[in-house]
Amino acid sequence: MLVRTLDEITDTDADIKTENWRSKRIVLAKERVGFSVHETTLYAGTESFFWYANHVEAVFITSGEGEIEDLATGEVHPLAPGTLYLLNDHDKHKVRPRTDITCVCVFNPPVTGREVHDENGVYPLVTEPETEPAPV
């Protein structure tokens, strides 16, 4: 069983900070469970472009408000606590928080924590080296 708190992650290499957002990586690929879990804060008044060409991401908003734009269709959807969006088709999108938004994000395949968004907003597919089988 893994039990981890956000306090344990804060200001470690699993706490990624940018001008537009901060992501605390709670569960990573090294845990070998097939997904990763992050708490992300998107900062008010910013606009972030993302395209997870190599990952599927589910995002559940726990606090804050803003909007997400599907760049393929131009559709804009409101974001508020209790909203979930699923990027199940590797959707290119922009997120525009009106207030700071806190959300829980789940990625498949899991991220390692070493990924950096490239110029297209894409995380490269980085994998953990194979070692012994995951504990049962």
- pLDDT of 8-23, one tens digit each? 999 999 999 999 999 9
| Residue ranges, the chain, pLDDT below 70 | 114-136
What is the structure's pLDDT at 115?
Answer: 58
What is the structure's pLDDT at 134?
Answer: 53
Task: Give the Å distances, CA to CA, from 30 to 40, 121, 122.
Answer: 19, 23, 21
What is the structure's pLDDT at 10?
Answer: 97
What is the structure's pLDDT at 125?
Answer: 58
What is the structure's pLDDT at 118?
Answer: 57
Q: Are 108 and 96 contacting, i.e. CB atoms less than 8 angstroms apart?
A: no
User: What's the rounded Cα separation, in Å, for the pair 108 and 32?
Assistant: 11
What is the structure's pLDDT at 53?
Answer: 85
What is the structure's pLDDT at 112?
Answer: 83
Question: 10 Å Cβ neighbour count for 45?
Answer: 11
Q: Among 3, 33, 29, which residue's Cα sits nearest to residue 134?
A: 33
Question: Does the reported pTM lie above 0.75?
Answer: yes
Regarding beta strands 15-17 and 84-87, do their DSSP bridges make them parallel or antiparallel, or are they unpaired? unpaired
